[in-house]
Chain A
Amino acid sequence: MSSIVEYFSGLFTGIKSLLGGMSVTWKELWTKKVTQQYPENRDTLVISDRFRAELVMPHDDKNEHACTACGICQMNCPNGTINVLSQMIETEDGKKKKQLDKYIWDLGMCTFCNLCVITCPSDAIKFENTYENAVFTRSKLIQQLNADGSKLREKKKEVKPVEPKPVVEAKVEEKSAPEVKPEEPKAE
């Protein structure tokens, strides 16, 4: 007797659940289409700000960037995508100073892991969501990020009451120092 009850209750619950499933798909039939018709919808396409498509070095209106050519990004890059070429110059007061010459980034090698941006002590680089990066030759993927004739932004000396800033800088230096040290024996 119980098996008969089981048979029929199984049958009817089965039919009920099938109808439930069909009602779900019926609602799905009328939902808005999610397909992005890409080349046509370029104007309205929304790309998340956090989407990492292209590494850029922001320059201000005086054509100055924040890169000190310290090379930490280059050391942290897992693929050897970044190549920081620096040059030594002599300042007016006779000091020798390292200056950024060329900041070369190879898009074709980049995995967009964001390690360079995270480790940059002076926030000189960042990832932008400009995603249309397709080109016809591989050599075009290798880009120079610093603009021609740009130079390092001088640190504002007037802002003295702000204490935390040197602390942060000191911290970063401390942090980066031990990171560099174990790297050196490895390289040798």
Chain B
Amino acid sequence: MILNSSQPLELTNLTSWLDTTLRSSMPEFWALLIEFVLVGILLLAAYAVIALILIYAERKITAFFQARYGPNRVGKWGLLQSLADMIKILLKEIVKINRSDRFLFFAAPFFMIVASMATFGAIPFGKSLHAVDFNIGVLYVMAVSSVGIIGVLLAGWSSNNKYSMIGAMRSGAQFVSYELSAGFALMTIVVLAGTMQFSELIEGQRYCWNIFNGHISSIIAFVIYLISGHAETNRGPFDLPEAESELTAGYHTEYSGLQFGFYYLAEYLNMFIIASIATTVFLGGFLPIQVQGWDGFNAIMDFVPSYVWFFGKTAVLIFLSLWVRWSFPRLRIDQLLNLEWKYLLPINLVNILVMVILVLPGLTLKDIFGIM
């Protein structure tokens, strides 16, 4: 806050300038309306662009894990590959399936995309790059991201296909189970930080990230959140809803063209959303690495704009998720549910208690070392 003048690359000036010019030239209602529309368009564009970048990154990193090169023909290093894929998918015919529930079939992808869009809006990308900042932000994110499962279940049901149905049911069981763990892991940090608002959560981590602040309990919560987030996005060792050897493609077997594109996009964006929430809640969000008392160091770190910090931390977590994905074999459904109900959930419940015990008598790192 003191160092505002020393951050030339931040977008704070741009956004506040836009706000004041709009407000000075027209009534408040219209100014707000234009701002809302602008934010919406920007978020939609960012949604698509981030998904394209993620698809490229995933394919590339996957290839490196398998000692391949990955896409390297379209553009330099294959950079235009996912763009070409997007164009291809937009040009595909949308197939109408016989004897499917037509209305639900076409409505299902929107549930998926709206859920991840609504979650996307609540993510603080950087200083003043935060569209929705409720005082119950964490709760909002958990609630809204759960809507996506309705899209999956509807897709499985309306496709009139046994593979889709089994895939959707597996996905439902998995999602409901792991949502619990993810919620408890976030709750542990809410106990530590004493707030559910993302902006306050981030501000509280200026000199000591939550993952360090609650030391043992925080780290356990972090790992549990990553595991359950991974499972929620149906990826990595938890991708049995789309186990291609058993279910062709799971719940989106019958989808084609743009509809399939929605699911594809939402899958990648959910990965990004999980990583960015983990960044915000555990790793200090868009704040740079700062050490209390080292003012010179802090000033240098502040020169790197906040959105770079945010995307950097998120990228590390996404890499971690890919690393896990290409390390472990797919779980069976019973192993999956065992992991959740016999391990993650009990550990999580104990972990919240431990966190309470750490917070109440003042055993967190902030309390011990007197960090602000």
A31 at interface (Cβ–Cβ under 8 A)? yes
The total of Cβ contacts below 8 Å across the A-B interface reads 32
User: In the complex, are the beta carbons of A21 and B67 less than 8 A apart?
Assistant: no
The residue on A at minimum CB distance from B68 is A35
B303 at interface (Cβ–Cβ under 8 A)? no
Distance between B65 CB and nearest chain A CB, rounded to angstroms: 5
- Select one of A11, A22, A34 contacting B324, CB under 8 A: A22
| Central interface residue in A11, A21, A31, A35, by most chain B CB within 10 Å | A35
B341 at interface (Cβ–Cβ under 8 A)? no
Distance between A130 CB and nearest chain B CB, rounded to angstroms: 26
When distances are taken between beta carbons in the complex, the residues of chain A under 8 Å from B327 are 18, 21-22, 24-25
A37 at interface (Cβ–Cβ under 8 A)? yes
| Chain A interface mostly | helix
When distances are taken between beta carbons in the complex, the residues of chain B under 8 Å from A24 are 327
The residue on B at minimum CB distance from A11 is B343
A29 at interface (Cβ–Cβ under 8 A)? yes
With A11-B343, A22-B323: A28-B67 Cβ-Cβ less than 8 Å: yes
When distances are taken between beta carbons in the complex, the residues of chain A under 8 Å from B66 are 28
| Central interface residue in A21, A24, A28, A29, by most chain B CB within 10 Å | A29
Interface string of B333-360 (1 = CB under 8 A from A): 0000000000100000000000000000
When distances are taken between beta carbons in the complex, the residues of chain B under 8 Å from A18 are 327-328
B69 at interface (Cβ–Cβ under 8 A)? yes
When distances are taken between beta carbons in the complex, the residues of chain A under 8 Å from B262 are none
When distances are taken between beta carbons in the complex, the residues of chain A under 8 Å from B324 are 22
B106 at interface (Cβ–Cβ under 8 A)? no
User: In the complex, are the beta carbons of B67 and A34 less than 8 A apart?
Assistant: yes
In the complex, which range does the number of interface residues on chain A fall in?
10 to 19
Q: Which residues A8-61 have CB closer than 8 A to chain B? A: 11, 18, 21-22, 24-26, 28-29, 31-35, 37
B134 at interface (Cβ–Cβ under 8 A)? no
User: In the complex, are the beta carbons of A33 and B67 less than 8 A apart?
Assistant: yes
Interface string of B38-67 (1 = CB under 8 A from A): 000000000000000000000000001111
Distance between A16 CB and nearest chain B CB, rounded to angstroms: 14
User: In the complex, are the beta carbons of A33 and B69 less than 8 A apart?
Assistant: yes
B326 at interface (Cβ–Cβ under 8 A)? yes
When distances are taken between beta carbons in the complex, the residues of chain B under 8 Å from A11 are 343
The residue on B at minimum CB distance from A15 is B223
Distance between A39 CB and nearest chain B CB, rounded to angstroms: 11
User: In the complex, are the beta carbons of B68 and A29 less than 8 A apart?
Assistant: no
- Select one of A25, A34, A35, A37 contacting B65, CB under 8 A: A25
| Chain B interface mostly | loop
Count the B residues whose beta carbon is within 8 Å of the partner chain — how many?
A: 12
Distance between A45 CB and nearest chain B CB, rounded to angstroms: 16
The residue on B at minimum CB distance from A10 is B343
| Central interface residue in B64, B65, B68, B327, by most chain A CB within 10 Å | B327
User: In the complex, are the beta carbons of B326 and A25 less than 8 A apart?
Assistant: yes
Q: How far is the CA of A106 from the CA of B327 in the complex (A)?
A: 47
Q: How far is the CA of A21 from the CA of B236 in the complex (A)?
A: 14
Q: How far is the CA of A35 from the CA of B323 in the complex (A)?
A: 20
When distances are taken between beta carbons in the complex, the residues of chain A under 8 Å from B323 are 22, 25-26, 29
Interface string of B88-119 (1 = CB under 8 A from A): 00000000000000000000000000000000
Q: How far is the CA of A37 from the CA of B69 in the complex (A)?
A: 9
Q: How far is the CA of A21 from the CA of B69 in the complex (A)?
A: 22
User: In the complex, are the beta carbons of A21 and B68 less than 8 A apart?
Assistant: no
When distances are taken between beta carbons in the complex, the residues of chain A under 8 Å from B67 are 28, 31-35
When distances are taken between beta carbons in the complex, the residues of chain B under 8 Å from A26 are 323
Q: How far is the CA of A11 from the CA of B223 in the complex (A)?
A: 14
- Select one of B68, B326, B328, B343 contacting A34, CB under 8 A: B68
Q: How far is the CA of A21 from the CA of B65 in the complex (A)?
A: 13
Chain A residues in contact with chain B, CB under 8 A? 11, 18, 21-22, 24-26, 28-29, 31-35, 37
In addition to A25-B327, A28-B65, A28-B66, 19 A-B residue pairs with Cβ atoms within 8 Å of each other are: A11-B343, A18-B327, A18-B328, A21-B327, A21-B328, A22-B323, A24-B327, A25-B326, A26-B323, A29-B64, A29-B65, A32-B67, A33-B68, A34-B67, A34-B68, A35-B67, A35-B68, A35-B69, A37-B69
A-B contact pairs, 30 of them (CB 8 A): A11-B343, A18-B327, A18-B328, A21-B327, A21-B328, A22-B323, A22-B324, A22-B327, A24-B327, A25-B65, A25-B323, A25-B326, A25-B327, A26-B323, A28-B65, A28-B66, A28-B67, A29-B64, A29-B65, A29-B323, A31-B67, A32-B67, A33-B64, A33-B67, A33-B68, A34-B67, A35-B67, A35-B68, A35-B69, A37-B69
